[in-house]
Structure 1
Amino acid sequence: MLTVLAPGPLTTVQDRGRPGLAGIGVGRSGAADRAAAELANRLVGNAPGAAVLEATLGGLAVRADADLLVVTTGARCPGSPVHTAPGPLRAGATLALGTPPAGLRTYLAVRGGFAVAPVLGSRSTDVLAGLGPPVLRAGDVLPVGGDAGPFPAVDLAPGADPPGGEVTVRLLPGPRADWLTAAAREALAGPWTVTAESNRVGLRLTGPRLERAVDAELPSEGLVRGAVQVPPAGQPVLFLADAPVTGGYPVAGYVDDADVDRCAQLRPGQTLRLRR
């Protein structure tokens, strides 16, 4: 087991989420940076969908209640000697994550995965819908599973840390791009600044006001991770892991799915460009 000593600004349990349930109003959720979460699981020999901890802006402190094999990935936090290189966390030892200098979300995996009770087939915390295990608090004790794959043969996964400056991602056309004026469609490329109102649901962006070409109300339509929706104020929202399943504002584009994980590491104040 693992005891939470301090949860930091926000720490949740995440896995691959709840795919296939949008028809009954349940979003997928899951790790915001899927690549980092799956890398963490591979490094400790778990199945790719095992539950991990997603810490936002560091601050997480945990104590091992038994000998464990752990690793962190994603945003690199001071205080983690096991970042992208798994190592032991002995019984009674603590791991405390500082504030990452770049990036937003850090993933902590333990061999065997976190065996909290699943809800609708997933151990993910959906902060919008309120599904899954509660947001972690100091004093929470997390069970560790006994099922894991072969012991990992790789002891290091070198890779670039999340960037701290401007980020450019690919943008695909959305079904309601024609609801924007031609000038607004050009301006959609940005640059956009990530605001402090962003969270696991989505990134709120500020920049040039996007003018509509259609003055009408739009019935609610389906939404997925990566959708770029334009509310009446003309400041877009880029939806992330806990996106709602429907929305009533025009979707002008979709960030390429391979790039959405990079968006999940953006911090308030960073600049985002959307390259068509």
Structure 2
Amino acid sequence: MIEVLAPGPYATVQDLGRPGYAHLGVPRSGAADSAALRLANRLVGNAEGAAGIELTFGGARLRFLEGAWVALTGAPCPLEAWAAHGMDAPFWLPPGAELRIGAPSRGLRTYLGVRGGIAVETVLGSRATDSLSGLGPAPLRRGTTLPIGPVTGLDPIAVDVAPPRAAPSPALRVLRGPRDDWFTHESLAALCAHPYAVTQDSNRVGVRLRGRALERAREGELPSEGMVEGAIQVPPSGQPIVFLADHPPTGGYPVIGVVASADLPSVAQLRPGDEVRFTWTTPRG
């Protein structure tokens, strides 16, 4: 059992989400940086889809009422516990130990994997907190207690430390969107010619950007149509929004492009004030 002494700015339980329900209006949700959650689980011998804790800008304090193996990945944070520990490596917390997680030096989201996984109840097959629909457990608050699942039958912990994560690409790769014909040629060029700044309004639904306005070649609005994670929607303001894990299944603004799936973890780690660039790419054969 884990007791939340302080959740930090925003903390939730996340796994790999609930795919397959978009036709019912249910977002997939799940970890915004799924690669980081998968790594945290591998480090403690869990299946990659086990539920962990997603911390937004660190700042959490957790008490482990039972001993547990844990690992933290994603945005690097200073850690304080009963002994010196670091990121991207499994370590043991004895019963009663308190884990303090500071603010990240870079990036935004940090993931705590616990051997056995966070064993809150499932909703539609997932333990993920969906900030848009309200499905899943409530965001963590002081006094929340989280059960840990059984460890019997799990793979042994076989890794001392994960290799360093590759540096993010200097520019996010973008595939042409299904509605790129709604934009002027100048706007298609401008998306990748100028940097955009991440605004304070960004969240798990989408990263809102500020920069060169993208002008449309058509007037009017689209009927709602299906959306995917990484879609770059452009509302009438011309300021793009990159959809993240809790994005709605449908949307009515035209999609100028879609961020390549391999670059979505980099999008999830963008913090307000960061600058981001895009570059056009083509699908692999």
Tell me the TM-score range normalised by the shorter chain.
over 0.9
Give SS of 2:277's match: strand
1:174 aligns with 2:177: yes
Q: How many residues align?
A: 274
Deviations 1:210-240 (A, max 9, x none): 1110011210110110000000000000000
Q: 1:129 aligns with which of 109, 130, 133?
A: 133
Q: Following superposition of structure 1 onto structure 2, how do residues 106-255 of structure 1 map, counting pairs within 5 Å?
A: 106-147=110-151, 149-160=154-165, 167-189=170-192, 190-255=194-259
The offset of 1:60, in angstroms, is 1.1
The offset of 1:167, in angstroms, is 4.0
Letter in 1 for 2:93: L
Unaligned runs of 5+ in 2: 281-285
Runs of 4+ in 1 over 3 A off after TM superposition: 160-163
CA distance in 1, matches of 2:239, 2:121: 38
Does the C-alpha gap of structure 1 residues 161 and 76 become closer, same or farther in structure 2, counting only changes over 3 Å? farther
Deviations 1:115-169 (A, max 9, x none): 0001110000000111100000011110000045211211100213876xx9411
1:18 aligns with 2:21: no
Residue matched to 2:77? 77
Letter in 2 for 1:173: R
Q: Tell me how large the CA RMSD over aligned residues is.
A: 1.3
CA distance in 1, matches of 2:256, 2:117: 38
Residue matched to 1:67? 67
Normalised to the residue count of structure 1, the TM-score between the two structures is 0.97
Normalised to the residue count of structure 2, the TM-score between the two structures is 0.94
Unaligned runs of 5+ in 1: none
Q: Following superposition of structure 1 onto structure 2, how do residues 47-66 of structure 1 map, counting pairs within 5 Å?
A: 47-66=47-66
Please say if residues 7 and 141 of structure 2, whose CA atoms lie closer than 8 Å, have aligned partners that are also in contact: yes
Residue matched to 2:104? 100
CA distance in 1, matches of 2:21, 2:191: 31
Give SS of 2:113's match: strand
Please say if residues 78 and 86 of structure 2, whose CA atoms lie closer than 8 Å, have aligned partners that are also in contact: no
Identity of aligned residues (%): 57
Please say if residues 76 and 161 of structure 1, whose CA atoms lie closer than 8 Å, have aligned partners that are also in contact: no
